[in-house]
Structure 1
Amino acid sequence: MHGVAWFGILGPLEVTASGRPVPVLGHNQRELLAVLLLRANRLVSVDSLIESVWAGQPPATARRQIQNGVGRLRRTLTTGGVPGQTIATRPHGYLLSATADELDLLAFGQQVAEGRRAPTEHEAAARLRAALALWRGQPLADIDNHLVVAEARRLQEQRLVVLEECLEVELRLGLHHEISGELAALVREHPLRERLSALLMLALHRDGRTAEALEVYRATRAALVAELGLEPGAELRELERAILTHDSSLDHTAPAQARAREARPRQLPPDIADLTGRDRIAGQVSEVLRARRDTAAVTVLGIAGQAGVGKTALAVHVAHRLSGSYPDGQLYVNLRGGRQGQRAEPGEVLARFLRALGVAGPEIPRGLEERAEEYRSRLADRRVLVVLDDAADEAQVRPLIPGTAGCAVLLTSRSRLAGLPGARLVDLDVLEAGQAVELLGRMVGAARIAAEAAAARELARLCGYLPLALRITGARLITHAGWTVTELAGRLADENRRLDELAHSDLEMRVSLSFSYQRLSPPARRLLHLLSHLYAPDFAGWVCAALLDVALAEAGKLIGELVDVRLLESSGTVSGHYHLHDLIRLFAREMTAEDPRPAVARALGGWLALAERAHIALSGGDFATLHGAAPRWTPAVEALAGRIDDDPLAWYETEHLNIVMGVRQAAEYRLDELCWDLVASTYALFLTRGHNDDWEDTLRWAIACTRRAGNRRGTATMLMGMGMLGAYRHDYSEAAVALDEAVTTFREVGEPRGRVYALGIAAHIEGMIGRYDQAVARHEEALEVHRASGDRGAETLLLRSLGQLLVEMGRFDQARPHLERALTVGRDGDRRVRAEVLYWLGQLELGSGQVDRAEAMFKEMLGIAEELGDPREEAEARYALGLVRLETGAYGAAAGLFRQALALNRPLSEPLTDGRIRTGLGITHHRRGEPDQAIGHLTEAVRIFAAIPSPLWQARALNALGDAQAAHGDPVTADATRSRALALLAEVDTPEPSPARGDALG
C-alpha cells in the first residue's frame, strides 16, 4: 500500500496520489519529471536540466523555460494531490524528495540491499525476487530524451546484474530444475552474456541434462567469436572442463570442504553490532566486491576518510558480510600507516599471511619479491578477501595485492590511494545528525538518550558527528552512570577542554589526530594552525595563500598535503572549497602559539577585494558606496576576476556565509576599517538575494566595532545601511532614527557623498509614510549637498527618488524632467538603478495614457532584471507589464503576469510589492466579473499595507475593494470601505489626486 504519492519509472512513467492516477501531460513536463525522479533526493542543477532537454544546443531563454516548466510541473502534481513540497527549489537547481514507499526505483534498491544482507539464502532469494517484481518493462519507455534513454540502459543493466545474482542464489538452493527455463530464455535474449550462460550450463548439468549444458557452451562460444572475435572467458572455459570431467564440486550436494585444498584463514576482528548510518555505503562496497569481473584483474576497493570517521568498522563489517562470497578465507592486517615510525612493512605482513595460508615458518622466502610471488601462488584459483587496514601509501599496499581475479582487496587509509591502478575509491564522511544520535542510543540505551533528546543532539554536534568521538562520549556515559547527557554536553561545550574530555581508556581523539599531524611538513602544519583560527565555514584555495602570504601554486601544494592525510576535507557543497572539521580545528589550535591576527587580516582583505569586484560587476560601477582604508589582498582578485565578472551573484552565493563570518571575525579582532568596508561593499549582494537577516547581523557587528574604535565615518556608513535595510523592511521608525544620526555624523566629519546618500534614503521613507512635504524638503537638501560633491551616482539616485515621489503623488508633469535626467545621467551607471528609473518613468507614461511607451520601458527593465538575475526587479517588471495588460483589457494575460510576479516575490518576502501585485490581481478579477476572487486579493492587500504602514497604498486598495464589494451586491459595506479610504487620505499631508492608470489604479 503506497503512501499519498507514488512514482513509477521502472516501466512507463506513472504517477498516482492516494491511489488515483495523476495525469502528467505535455512532453516538457514529462521529461523534467523523469530526470528529477531518476535523480531523486539529489540536487539537479538547472544546467543539467537544460542539457537534458536541449542536448548542448539550448536557446537563449533556456533557463527561464526550465524555471517555468518546473513551476507548471509542480502545479500539475499538487493539483493531482501530490504534496507541494515534493519538488523543492534550491540554489542553482531543484530537489525531488521521495522515499522507497513513494518511488519504485528506490524500493528496488532497498529490496536489493536487504536481499544482499539477508541472513539466509532463502530470504535473500525472496527479497531479490520482490525487487525484480517491481519492474513493469523498459524504464521510462515513453520518454524520448537522450539523458533518460542513457539512464534507462544503465538501469536495465542493473536489473540484469540483480537477476543474475538472484538466479545464482536460487541455484545454490537447489532450484536448478525450476529456473532452467527462465535461464534459457535469458540466454537467448543475451547470447553474449557469459555469466548467464554459465548459470544455465550449471542448472542443466545438475538437472541431468549435461549434453544440453555443453551445447550451451558451444552456442555461446560461437556467438562470441562471430560477434566479438573473442573466445569465452576463463570462468566459462573452466566450467566446460569441469562438466566434461564430471567434477564432483559442481554437484549441489558436494560438501564445501571437498573444494578446499589448503588452510582457510579467518583473521577478521569481531564485527561491530551497533554500526550505525553506514547501510548505504556498506551496500555499495559489498556490491563492488561481490561482483564477478570479466577481466583477470583483482578488485581493489579503498575506503578513505579522516581520523575517527569509522573506516575500520565499516571495512570489517563489510568483510564479515562477504564471507560467503569469499569461502576460502579472509586475511586481515593493521598496517599502522597513520603512525609515524610504526608502519608495518610489506615483507613482515607477507610472512604473516603466508603462515595463515599454511606455509611453515622455515619455508617462507626471505626476500620481499619472493614472498610476494609465493603469496600470489598460494592465492591463485582461490577466493580470498584481503583486508588492509590503515594503509599509508601505495608502496605499502602493492606487494599485498593478490595476482588473480578470484580474490579481492578491501583497504582503508587516511589518504586517497589514487596511484593503485584500477582501484575503486570511496570517501567516508561523518554521520548525519540523526544517525549520530542513533549511535549514542544504541550504545547507551535508547530510553536514556530519548529522555534528553535535545542534549543528545547537542552532544552529537559537539562531537562533530565523528564516530570515534561519539564512541568515546558513549563509553563515558556508560562508565559514569550518574552523569546526565546534559552534563556531559556541558563539559564538551568548553572548546578549551573538549579534546581533554574526548578520551576514555585506549580511545583518545587527540592521539588519533596526532598520527596524521606528524606526517605533515612544517609549512603544512603552519597552514593548518592558521586555518583553525578562521571563522569561515569553508573556503577556497586562495584563502590559504592569503593566510601564508604566498603564491597560489605554493598554497595548492600544502592544501594537497593536508587533504592527503584527511586533516582538510573538500567541501561537500561548493566545488574547489575546503572544510576543517571542528575537532581538527580545536586540535590544530593547540599546536603552535603563533599570533593568527595578521594572517586572518590578509584573508579578510581578500574577501573585501573580491566583494568590491562583485559589487562593481553587479552594478556596472562602484556606485552609492563608501569605502575605507583597510588593505586588500589583491591576488585573490587576480585569481577570480573572470569568474566574478561573468556571474557575480553565483560567486556571492558560494561566499556569502564566509563574508558574514568574516565581518564577525573582523569585529571581534577589532579591525574596524576592514569590518565596515566589507559590509558596505556587499550591501547590493545582500539586497539582491534577499539575505536581510545576514545584512542586519553584519551591520550591527560593524556598528559596535566602529563605535568602540571611535571610527565615526564607518559608524555613519553602517547607520545609513541600517536605514536602507529598514526602508526595504518597511520598519520606518527605526530607519529614521538611524538615518538622522547618519546625516548628522556625515555633516560633522565632512563626508558629503555619505550625507547625500543618507538624505536620499530618508526622503524616500518620508514619502512612503505619506509625509510628502518633508520628503520634498529632504530631496532638496540632498540635491543642495550633491552640488558640492559632484557625485553622478548620487544624482541619479536622488532624481529617481524624487521622480518616484512625484509619480506617487500623481504630479506627472513635475516628475518627468527628473526621471528623464536620471535616465540620461545614469546611462553608464548602476544597471539596477537604471531599471528602477525605467519602472517609474513607465508608471508615469502609463498614468499619462501612453501605454505603448510604458510597455517598452517595462520590457527594457525586465531585460536588465533577467540579465542581473535579480528576482526583486524581475517581480516589479512583470507586475508593471501586468498593469499594461490590465489597461489594454487583456485580463487573462494580466492575471498571468501578476501571478508570475507573486511567485518571484514570495521568497523575498517584500510586503509592498506583494500588496501592489495583489491589488492588481484584485482589480483584474473585478473587471472580469469575479468579485469573490477580487475581494480576497484586495482584502489581503489592505492588511499588508496597514501593517507596513503605507497609507496611500492602503487607501488605493480600499477604493478598489469598495468597488468589488459594490459589484458583489453589498453597497453598505462598499460605502464603509470607501469612507475608510477617504479618512486615510485626509491624514496624508498632500492632496491625493485621482489618476486613471498605472500604480494609481483603484
Structure 2
Amino acid sequence: MRWQRVSAAVVVAASLAGGIATNLIANEVGTNLGPLAWAVAGALATVAGTVLIVLEVRKRRELEWQQASEPTPPVSPQPAGVPTDLPYISGFAGRTDDVTWARKALETEHAVALVGRRGVGTSACAVQAANTVRDRFPDGQVYLDLRANGRPLRPRQVLAAVARKVGAARPRSPRAADLAVTGAQIRHRLGERRVLLVLDNVADPAQVRHLLPPAAHCRLLLAGTPMLSTVDGVSARRLDEPDPADAAELLVAARASAASRGRGLDPAADPATPDLVELCGRQPRAVRALGHQIGRHGWPTTELLAELRHAVVAPPHQRIPYAESVPLLTGRDVAYAALSGPARRLFRLMSLAPEPLDRDAIAALRTRPTEALRELAEAGFVTAADGGRYAIRPLLAAYARLHLRQDEPTRSRIHAQARLVRHLARRAERADPDWLQQHHDLLRALVTEVAGMAGPAPLPRRVRRWWFRLAVALCTWYAAEDRLDEWEAVCQAVLGTRIAGQRSTLTGWAHNELGVIRRHRGDPHGAAVQLTLAVTERGRRGQAQARTNLALALLDQGEVDAAIEHLERARRHRSPADRAGLALTDLGLGAAYLARGEPAKARHRLVQAANTFEALGDRRGYAAALTNLVLAQWRLGEHLDAAHAWTAALSVYAGLDDPAGRAAALLNAGAALVNTDPPRGEQARKLLTEALRLRGQRRPDAGLGRTLLHLGDAEMALDRPDRAREHWEDAAAVAAEVGDPEAAAAAAERLAD
C-alpha cells in the first residue's frame, strides 16, 4: 500500500541520515566516539529493519484477509482465452424472467444474446440460463470468456480458442478470408452434434461474427455489448440493473451465505436493505460484496447505511473520516474500471452537478470532453436531456459521488467545483432569460443544496466568491420575473450557511433582499424589520441600498420624515460612480417629498432621476421617474408638462413587460385628469379602467384601492353616482384589506357625502 511504502522510505532515509550525522559528530569531537557512532547506526538500522518486517507482515495479512473475505464470484474464474466446460454458477438470485426468456429462446433460435452495459449481470444470467438447459446438449457445453486479462480477445484469438476445442485448424492469419475459412471448419467439425457454445464478455460483434450462423443442431449463447442486438440472426434481450426486489434478494442471499455460523437475524426483515442496494446502484457485484461483508463481519446495517449516505451527501470540499465500505463498493464497479482515464474522471466530476449540464458547463469541468462524453454515453453512464444537456443516470448518481470521494483528491474536487460555479455565475450574470429558465433547476440546486450547504468545513474561498455571485444573479432574475417564493428560498439558503454568520456582507445582502420581498408582498412592517437588520450588517457603501429600501418601506407605513432622513443619508453614502444607485435614491426622495406635500423638491429630484436613468439606458427606471413626475408637475400647476410626462411614461411602458409600472402611470395620469377644473371625466375613466384591468391580474395592494377611488371620482364627474358609489365601496374594502388608512378615509368621506 502507498502509506506503507512511504513509511518504509522515511524510516530508511532517517536511518541513513542519523548514521551520517553521528559519523560527522564523531569526526568533529574526536576519534573516541567512533565505536559509539557505529553502535547508534547499528541500532537505527535494526529499528528500520524491524519496521520494514512489521509492515510487510501487515501487508501480507491484509491481503490474505481480503482474499478470505471476498465472496465467491458468480461465474467461476476460467483460464483466460482457453475454452472450458460450462461452469456452475454460485450465489445467483433473481432474474427469473430473463433466465426463462433465454431458456425458451434457445429452443427455437440458433443464436441468442443477453446484452447490457458492463456490470449489470449479463454473464451470470447467461451462465445460469445455460445451466438450466445442459441436458438438451448432451454433446457438450463450451464456455469461453472473451476478455483475457481485462482486454478483449481479437477475432482471430476467439476463433483459435474455439477451433482448438472442437479440433479444427486455427486461422492462418487475421485476414477476413482466413477467419471465414476457420468459421466454416468449426461448423463442419460440429456437424450434427448438439453443442451449446457460451461466449461471455463480448465487447464487439466482430469477435463472434465468423461463428454465425452456428451449426444446424448447435446453439450460440452470447453475453456482452448492446451492439449484439444489431447483428443479423441474433435474438437479443437487453438487461438493465436488477429491479429493487431482485437486488434486495441478491444482497440477502449473499449475506445469508456468508453468515455460515448464523447470528439469529433474518436479513430479509432488515429495513435498511432497500436503501443499501440503491446506494450500490443495484450493481450485482457491489451488492454481493456488500452482502458478503455484512454477513461475514456482522456490520450493523443502520450504521453502514448512515456511513454511505454521509459519503454521498457530504459537500465535495469536506473531508470525511475513512469509510471502509466506500472502497469496497467502488472497487467492484467493473464497468467504471473498464472506462478510459479521461472518461472516469469526467464521470466523477459530473457528480458535482445535481442537474443536467450542457457542453459548455461540462467543458468547464474538463477540457475537451467530447470523446470522454461519447464514451460515457455509449457505456450507459450518462443520458441525454433536453437542450443538448447530459446528466448522470439517476441510478448511478450516488455511485458517482462515491467514486468522486474515493478517487478524486480534495483539492482537485474544490478546483473543479470552483470552475463549474464560476462558469455558471458568469453566464447567469448575462441575464439571458431563456438560458436562465433552462438551467434554473441546476442553478438553484447549486446555491441552495450543494455549494451553500452548511457543514463542519467552511466553503472554500475560491468557491465562495463565485457561489455568492451566482446567488446574486439568480435573485436578480427572480426579482425581474416576480418569482417571490423562489427568491426568498435562495435568500434563506444564504442565511443558513455557516459563512453567513462569519461575513456580514452576505448576511446584510440576504436581509436586504428579504426586505424587498416583504415589501413586494405588501408587508411594510416586516420589510422594515429585515431592512433594519441589513443596514446594521452592511458597510457604509452597502448601507446605501439597504437604507433606500428601508426608506421606501417606511414611506409605505406613512413615516415620511424618517424615510427622507434615510434617503438623504443613502445619497451621501453612494459612490459618485454609482449613477444607477444615485438615480434610484433620487426617485425615492421624489416620492417622499410628494408624500410630504413639497412638490417643488419632488420635481427637482424626479427630473434628476429621469435624466440619469435615460442616460444609462434604464427604461424601466426612466418610466418610473416620469410616472411620479406627473403628480409633482400637476400639483405645481404645470399641466402641459405633466401631460407630456405621462404620455412619455406610457410610451415607454408600451415596450416593457411591466404591468405594475404601467398601471401606476395610468393611475397618476387618471388622478391628475379627474382633479382638473373642470375634470376630464371620460379621458380619466378610460385610463383608470385600463389601470384597474392591469391591477386585477395581481394581488390586491394600495394601488388597487386608489385606482378604484379615482375611478369612482371619474364616474361621478360623468354624472353616474350609482357606479361611482360601487367603486368607492370597493376602494374602502381594498384599503381596509391592505392597510391603507389614507385611502380608506378618503373613500369613507366620499360615501358619506
| TM-score band, normalised by shorter chain | 0.5 to 0.7
State yes or no: 1:539 paired with 2:326.
no
The answer (yes or no) to whether the contact 1:464–1:582 under 8 Å persists in 2 is: yes
Q: How big is the shift at 1:762?
A: 1.3
Cα gap change, 1:961/1:793 in structure 2, threshold over 3 Å: closer, same or farther?
A: closer
For residues 708 and 126 of structure 2, what CA distance do their matches in structure 1 show? 64
Partner of 1:569: 382
Query: Equivalent residue of 1:512, what SS?
Result: coil
The answer (yes or no) to whether the contact 1:458–1:489 under 8 Å persists in 2 is: yes
Cα gap change, 1:960/1:565 in structure 2, threshold over 3 Å: closer, same or farther?
A: same
**What does 1:70-149 align with in structure 2 at a 5 Å threshold?**
none
Partner of 1:372: 183
Cα gap change, 1:484/1:558 in structure 2, threshold over 3 Å: closer, same or farther?
A: closer
Partner of 2:730: 960
Cα gap change, 1:491/1:647 in structure 2, threshold over 3 Å: closer, same or farther?
A: closer
Cα gap change, 1:713/1:333 in structure 2, threshold over 3 Å: closer, same or farther?
A: same
Letter of the 2:399 partner, please give it.
Answer: L
Cα gap change, 1:460/1:513 in structure 2, threshold over 3 Å: closer, same or farther?
A: closer
**What does 1:789-800 align with in structure 2 at a 5 Å threshold?**
789-800=576-587
Kindly provide the CA deviation profile for residues 736-782 of structure 1, in whole angstroms up to 9, marking residues without a partner as x: 4553454356554xx3xx33322222122223444344333323333
State yes or no: 1:681 paired with 2:473.
yes
Cα gap change, 1:760/1:693 in structure 2, threshold over 3 Å: closer, same or farther?
A: closer
* Aligned counterpart for 1:440 among listed residues 248, 253, 256: 248
Kindly provide the CA deviation profile for residues 279-317 of structure 1, in whole angstroms up to 9, marking residues without a partner as x: 9xx99x99x99999xxxxx99989553x54455578889
For residues 364 and 488 of structure 2, what CA distance do their matches in structure 1 show? 29
Cα gap change, 1:747/1:882 in structure 2, threshold over 3 Å: closer, same or farther?
A: closer
Partner of 2:62: none
Query: TM-score, normalised to structure 2's length?
Result: 0.57
Cα gap change, 1:733/1:397 in structure 2, threshold over 3 Å: closer, same or farther?
A: farther
Structure 2 stretches of 5 or more lacking a match? 1-84, 173-178, 254-264, 312-319, 671-681, 713-725
Cα gap change, 1:424/1:536 in structure 2, threshold over 3 Å: closer, same or farther?
A: farther
Cα gap change, 1:428/1:403 in structure 2, threshold over 3 Å: closer, same or farther?
A: closer
Kindly provide the CA deviation profile for residues 158-198 of structure 1, in whole angstroms up to 9, marking residues without a partner as x: xxxxxxxxxxxxxxxxxxxxxxxxxxxxxxxxxxxxxxxxx
**What does 1:326-405 align with in structure 2 at a 5 Å threshold?**
335=145, 337=147, 340-341=149-150, 343-347=152-156, 349-350=158-159, 361-363=166-168, 366-367=171-172, 368-374=179-185, 389-393=200-204, 395-396=206-207, 398-400=209-211, 402=213
State yes or no: 1:555 paired with 2:369.
yes
Partner of 2:487: 692
The answer (yes or no) to whether the contact 1:767–1:775 under 8 Å persists in 2 is: yes
Cα gap change, 1:724/1:890 in structure 2, threshold over 3 Å: closer, same or farther?
A: closer
The answer (yes or no) to whether the contact 2:593–2:602 under 8 Å persists in 1 is: yes
For residues 859 and 317 of structure 1, what CA distance do their matches in structure 2 show? 77
For residues 268 and 961 of structure 1, what CA distance do their matches in structure 2 show? 86
The answer (yes or no) to whether the contact 1:779–1:798 under 8 Å persists in 2 is: yes
State yes or no: 1:766 paired with 2:580.
no
Partner of 1:650: 438
Kindly provide the CA deviation profile for residues 610-656 of structure 1, in whole angstroms up to 9, marking residues without a partner as x: 23223xx56xxxxxxxxxxxxxxxxxxxxxxxxxxx75443445544
Cα gap change, 1:462/1:352 in structure 2, threshold over 3 Å: closer, same or farther?
A: same
For residues 697 and 718 of structure 1, what CA distance do their matches in structure 2 show? 7
Letter of the 2:309 partner, please give it.
Answer: A
Q: How big is the shift at 1:562?
A: 4.7
Larger Rg: 2
For residues 648 and 238 of structure 2, what CA distance do their matches in structure 1 show? 55
**What does 1:607-622 align with in structure 2 at a 5 Å threshold?**
607-614=424-431, 617=432
The answer (yes or no) to whether the contact 1:540–1:576 under 8 Å persists in 2 is: yes
* Aligned counterpart for 1:584 among listed residues 374, 392, 400: 400
Query: Equivalent residue of 2:411, what SS?
Result: coil
Letter of the 1:539 partner, please give it.
Answer: L
The answer (yes or no) to whether the contact 1:354–1:364 under 8 Å persists in 2 is: yes
Query: TM-score, normalised to structure 1's length?
Result: 0.45
For residues 644 and 247 of structure 2, what CA distance do their matches in structure 1 show? 67
Q: How big is the shift at 1:574?
A: 5.8
State yes or no: 1:705 paired with 2:513.
no
Structure 1 stretches of 5 or more lacking a match? 1-264, 293-297, 619-645, 866-872, 903-912, 927-955, 964-976, 998-1002
Cα gap change, 1:377/1:773 in structure 2, threshold over 3 Å: closer, same or farther?
A: farther
Kindly provide the CA deviation profile for residues 138-161 of structure 1, in whole angstroms up to 9, marking residues without a partner as x: xxxxxxxxxxxxxxxxxxxxxxxx
For residues 588 and 525 of structure 2, what CA distance do their matches in structure 1 show? 19
The answer (yes or no) to whether the contact 1:676–1:706 under 8 Å persists in 2 is: no
Query: Equivalent residue of 1:864, what SS?
Result: coil
Q: How big is the shift at 1:586?
A: 1.8
Partner of 2:411: 595
* Aligned counterpart for 2:325 among listed residues 501, 522, 526: 501
Letter of the 1:611 partner, please give it.
Answer: A
For residues 219 and 597 of structure 2, what CA distance do their matches in structure 1 show? 81
Q: How big is the shift at 1:583?
A: 1.7
Query: Equivalent residue of 1:577, what SS?
Result: strand
State yes or no: 1:492 paired with 2:308.
yes
**What does 1:183-222 align with in structure 2 at a 5 Å threshold?**
none
Superposed CA RMSD: 6.8
Cα gap change, 1:516/1:731 in structure 2, threshold over 3 Å: closer, same or farther?
A: same
Q: How big is the shift at 1:563?
A: 4.6
For residues 502 and 335 of structure 1, what CA distance do their matches in structure 2 show? 29
For residues 726 and 290 of structure 1, what CA distance do their matches in structure 2 show? 72
Letter of the 1:440 partner, please give it.
Answer: A
For residues 895 and 450 of structure 1, what CA distance do their matches in structure 2 show? 66
Kindly provide the CA deviation profile for residues 537-568 of structure 1, in whole angstroms up to 9, marking residues without a partner as x: 543444454445x4xxx3333444555555x5
Q: How big is the shift at 1:680?
A: 2.6
Cα gap change, 1:268/1:473 in structure 2, threshold over 3 Å: closer, same or farther?
A: closer
The answer (yes or no) to whether the contact 1:491–1:498 under 8 Å persists in 2 is: no
Query: Equivalent residue of 1:570, what SS?
Result: strand
For residues 377 and 844 of structure 1, what CA distance do their matches in structure 2 show? 104
Cα gap change, 1:608/1:730 in structure 2, threshold over 3 Å: closer, same or farther?
A: same
Partner of 2:45: none
Cα gap change, 1:768/1:400 in structure 2, threshold over 3 Å: closer, same or farther?
A: farther
Partner of 2:545: 757
Letter of the 2:357 partner, please give it.
Answer: F
The answer (yes or no) to whether the contact 1:441–1:448 under 8 Å persists in 2 is: no
Letter of the 2:730 partner, please give it.
Answer: A
Kindly provide the CA deviation profile for residues 950-989 of structure 1, in whole angstroms up to 9, marking residues without a partner as x: xxxxxx99963877xxxxxxxxxxxxx99x789x666x8x
Give the count of matched residue pairs. Answer: 595
For residues 556 and 426 of structure 1, what CA distance do their matches in structure 2 show? 30
Deviates more, 1:733-742 or 1:690-699: 733-742
For residues 351 and 734 of structure 1, what CA distance do their matches in structure 2 show? 82
Query: Equivalent residue of 1:668, what SS?
Result: coil
The answer (yes or no) to whether the contact 1:809–1:992 under 8 Å persists in 2 is: no
Letter of the 2:424 partner, please give it.
Answer: W
For residues 995 and 854 of structure 1, what CA distance do their matches in structure 2 show? 29
For residues 106 and 632 of structure 2, what CA distance do their matches in structure 1 show? 72
Q: How big is the shift at 1:705?
A: 2.3
Cα gap change, 1:716/1:894 in structure 2, threshold over 3 Å: closer, same or farther?
A: closer
